[in-house]
């Protein structure tokens, strides 16, 4: 997971008003910039993984369902 492209907690914080209003454009921009799978750091909450890669999602759901940092 550490090798995945990521969005910093600072970028999330700077865009928080926009994200709360409508998160989809923010995430779409990140998919376009970072690719089909990336992680977002959230202050006090850890990391969130985003993916629109069906094979990756299937792998996670079927085989890697335990959290490993």
How would residue 3 be classed by pLDDT, with cut points 50, 70 and 90? confident
> Within a 10 A sphere around the Cβ of 25, how many other Cβ atoms?
12
Helices and strands in the chain, H and E counts: 4, 3
CA distance 31 to 51: 8
Q: What is the pLDDT of residue 2?
A: 65
Each residue's pLDDT tens digit, 20-52: 999 999 999 999 999 999 999 888 778 899 999
| pTM of the predicted structure, to 2 decimals | 0.78
Coil, strand or helix at 49: strand
Structure tokens at 59: 């792998």
How would residue 65 be classed by pLDDT, with cut points 50, 70 and 90? low
State yes or no: pLDDT of 6 exceeds 70.
yes
């Amino acid at each position: 997971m550490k090798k995945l492209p990521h969005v910093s907690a600072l970028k999330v914080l700077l865009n928080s008003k926009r994200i709360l209003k409508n998160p989809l454009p923010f995430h779409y921009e990140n998919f376009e910039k970072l690719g089909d799978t990336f992680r977002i750091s959230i202050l006090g909450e850890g990391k969130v993984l985003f993916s629109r890669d069906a094979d990756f999602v299937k792998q996670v759901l079927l085989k890697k369902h335990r959290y490993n940092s």
